[in-house]
Structure 1
């Protein structure tokens, strides 16, 4: 694996966990209360950003391979697995210690 692949994986882990670690909308706009729907939209945006960067890196390395829906379904599931630590911290660990 090349350094760009490691950076892409690290970026995917960070983008998957950021929605759960900050009370701000996309890390910029403050919200009174960030709901689960906000987290889902941020997760989707992080997935799209990661996929676009992966496509850009692949196109720079050579020809881009055609992918079916299965490839994107597996990548989305992997992105959700990356988001699991942030989800656990936000909904199970953090809320228990706030009370």
Structure 2
């Protein structure tokens, strides 16, 4: 159980940063302007949150019964996912020089 938890946290951290590090929209479509708009990055962040949540649900199902959760659980997980995305946001918008 410890391995799957560690794997899930590493996967969530990587998935949260991907929208800010990848130049293509959903890793496929190259934007016409050359860089993705922030709205695309937010949409990718939400989609990846649900993908990681689905993987977590599958891992939990492999270990035993899936526990029913209330909205507080999902609110905390969404906040944690946004905190995990902070390094990618800093790299994309605050750390790199403009035009680089």
Q: CA deviation at 1:97?
A: 4.9
Over residues 41-70 of structure 1, what are the superposed CA-to-partner deviations in whole Å (9 max), with x where a residue is unaligned? Answer: 100011000100001111111111110000
Length, aligned pairs only: 98
Q: Tell me, which stretches of 5 or more residues in structure 1 are unaligned?
A: none
User: Residue 49 of structure 1 aligns with which residue?
Assistant: 51
More helix per residue: 1 or 2? 1
Q: Tell me, which stretches of 5 or more residues in structure 2 are unaligned?
A: none
1:20, 1:61 → 2: CA distance? Answer: 32
Q: CA deviation at 1:19?
A: 0.4
- Give the match's secondary structure for 2:20: helix
User: Residue 14 of structure 2 aligns with which residue?
Assistant: 14
- Give the match's secondary structure for 1:29: coil
Distance of aligned partners of 1:42 and 1:73 in 2 relative to their CA distance in 1, 3 Å threshold? same
How does 1:14-93 map onto structure 2 within 5 Å? Answer: 14-32=14-32, 33-93=35-95
2:77, 2:6 → 1: CA distance? Answer: 16
Moved over 6 A (4+): none
C-alpha root-mean-square deviation of aligned residues, in Å? Answer: 1.3
More strand per residue: 1 or 2? 1
